[in-house]
Amino acid sequence: MLMNTETTLPDRSIGAILLDTGKLSINDVEQILRLQKEANLRFGDAAVELGLLTQSDIQHALSHQYDYPYLLKNDESVSDKLVAAYNPFSPQVEALRTLRSQLMLRRFTGDANRKMLSIVSPGSKEGRSYLTANLAIVFSQLGERTLLIDADMRKPCQHELFKLENRNGFSSILASRNDTQAVQRVNKFIDLSVLTAGPTPPNPQELLGRTALRALFHELNERFDVILVDTPPAADFADAHILTARTGAALMLTRKNKSLLELVRQQTESMVRSGIEVVGTVMSDF
- 198 lies in the same domain as 241: yes
Do 30 and 89 fall within a single domain? Answer: no
Residue 66 — pLDDT band, cuts 50, 70, 90? low
User: Do residues 236 and 127 both lie within one domain?
Assistant: yes
Task: Assess contact for 71 and 80: CB atoms under 8 A.
Answer: no
Domain count, the chain: 2
- Distance in angstroms (rounded) separating the CA atoms of residues 101 and 32: 39
CB 121: neighbour CB atoms within 10 A? 31
**pLDDT tens figures, 84-94:** 999 888 999 99
Residue 217 and residue 134 in one domain: yes
Quick check: is 74 in a domain?
A: no
Shared domain for 206 and 137, answered yes or no, is yes
CB 160 within 8 A of CB 79: yes
Q: Is the pLDDT of residue 3 over 50?
A: no
CA–CA–CA angle 139, 108, 206 (5° rounding)? 90
Q: Are 192 and 149 in contact (CB under 8 A)?
A: no
Does a structural domain hold residue 236?
yes
Report pLDDT for 67. Answer: 60
- Would strands 146-150 and 192-195 be described as parallel, antiparallel, or unpaired? parallel
pLDDT higher than threshold 70 for residue 68 = no
Angle at 142 between CA 141 and CA 143, to 5 degrees: 90
CB within 8 A of 101, min separation 6: which ones?
Answer: none
Quote the pLDDT of residue 132: 97
Residue 6: inside a domain: no
Considering the domain architecture, whether residues 88 and 209 belong to the same structural domain is answered as: yes
3-state secondary structure 35-70: HHHHHCCCHHHHHHHCCCCCHHHHHHHHHHHCCCCC
Q: Is the pLDDT of residue 8 over 60?
A: no
Where in the sequence is the domain holding 112, given as residue range(s)? 83-284
CA 144 to chain centroid, in Å, comes to 10
pLDDT digits (tens, 9 = 90+) for 236-270: 999 999 999 999 999 999 998 888 889 999 999 99
> Is the same domain home to 57 and 87?
no
pTM of the model: 0.80
In a domain, 76, yes or no: no
Same domain, 55 and 109: no
Q: What's the angle, vertex CA 261, arms to CA 259 and CA 265, rounded to 5? A: 120
Rounded-to-integer distance, Cα 58 and Cα 17, Å: 10
Q: How far apart are CA 215 and CA 141, in angstroms?
A: 28
Do residues 94 and 195 share a domain?
yes
CA distance 279 to 264: 14
Share of residues in the chain with pLDDT > 70 (%): 91
For residue range 127-182, what is the model confidence (pLDDT) as tens digits?
Answer: 999 999 999 999 999 889 999 999 999 999 999 999 999 999 999 999 999 999 99
The CB density around residue 188, as the number of other CB atoms within 10 Å, is: 15
Same-domain check for residues 39 and 160: no
Is 131 among the domain residues? yes
5: confidence class by pLDDT, cuts 50, 70, 90: very low
Tell me whether residue 203 is in a domain: yes
In a domain, 173, yes or no: yes
Residue 267 and residue 191 share a domain = yes
pLDDT tier at 2 (50, 70, 90 boundaries)? very low
Whether 77 maps to a domain, the answer reads no
Query: Is-contact 178 130, C-beta < 8 A?
Result: no
